[in-house]
Amino acid sequence: MREILERLRKGEITVEDAEVLIKEKANLGIFGLANFDVHREERTGIPEVVLAEGKNSEHLLKIIDSVLRKKKKVIITRLGKDQIEKIREFASSQNYGLKYNDLARVCVVRVACLENSGLENRSLENAEEKKGKVAIITAGTSDIPVAEEAKMIAEELGCKVFSEYDVGVAGIHRTFAALERLKKEGVHAYIVAAGREGALPTLIAGIVEGPVIGVPVSVGYGIGQRGEAALHAMLQSCSPLVVVNIDAGFVAGAVAAQIAKRIVKGC
């Protein structure tokens, strides 16, 4: 985009030429399968992410291959076991770097091979320097997969993440101990994942200084099962907080990263 505007400024192309070039670069058409928004990260700070759920492995690999011809990395979420094995084979054949979190079911494929280039911890190193800090808290152990999805997204967006797991209200002494540790780290935004009755985000939002993002998790059975009771409880919270969809770890991680980075910038 910047290159096109520079060429326009220098008089190398006309306004009409620039319009055509910008439209061509706005979306990446992939074999009639997808229109990938290659400039979303430039506009919003959050790249378009590939949702693996519902896609067969052949289509998924075509999308990944096409995106990596334009971008340095691509994030894929909600992966199945067969899909990640196919991606491993593909990444190895292309000498691409691959980072995969089994609990989160999220992977990142990079153009540079991580093992050979020393880029393995690049996002974390950058976060240490000047990026935002995000806390991720779960009520129970069963909430961890959703929390790990949020964690991986926030880290890939350049934030440093501090995790406190299994500190729900059933043992409230654990909650206060975790919040004390997080306070010392100076976190900018909190993600709180909880299933069952979903009480933890309300409690934390009434204690901490900073925005709280509640993530209802599809844990629990009987009345209000599959995260429905947790969602309703968070939406009815007396303490001010924001709530994302059930199991929406990606959304929580992305929004928390946006908040934290803007705080660091002083916006």
Q: What pTM was computed for the model?
A: 0.83
Q: Tell me yes or no: is domain 2-117 CATH 3.30.1490.
A: no
Q: Is the pLDDT confidence value at 126 over 60?
A: no
**Interior angle at CA 198, CA 197 and CA 202, nearest 5:** 125
What are 10-62's pLDDT values in tens digits? 888 888 887 777 766 665 655 566 778 887 887 888 989 999 999 999 999 99
Distance of CA 244 to the CA centre of its chain: 13
Q: Strand, helix or coil at 208?
A: coil
Which pLDDT belongs to residue 120?
Answer: 43
The CATH number of the domain covering residues in 122-265: 3.40.50.1970
Q: Strand, helix or coil at 47?
A: coil
The answer for residues whose C-beta is within 8 angstroms of residue 264's C-beta and 6 or more apart is 130, 131, 132, 188
What are 66-85's pLDDT values in tens digits? 999 888 999 999 999 999 99
Domain positions in the chain: 2-117, 122-265
* Sign of the alpha-carbon torsion through 223, 229, 233, 235: negative
- The DSSP string of 71-108 is SSEEEEES--HHHHHHHHHHHHHTT-EEEEETTTTEEE
Of how many residues is the chain composed? 267
State the maximum Cα–Cα separation within the chain, in Å, rounded to a whole number: 68
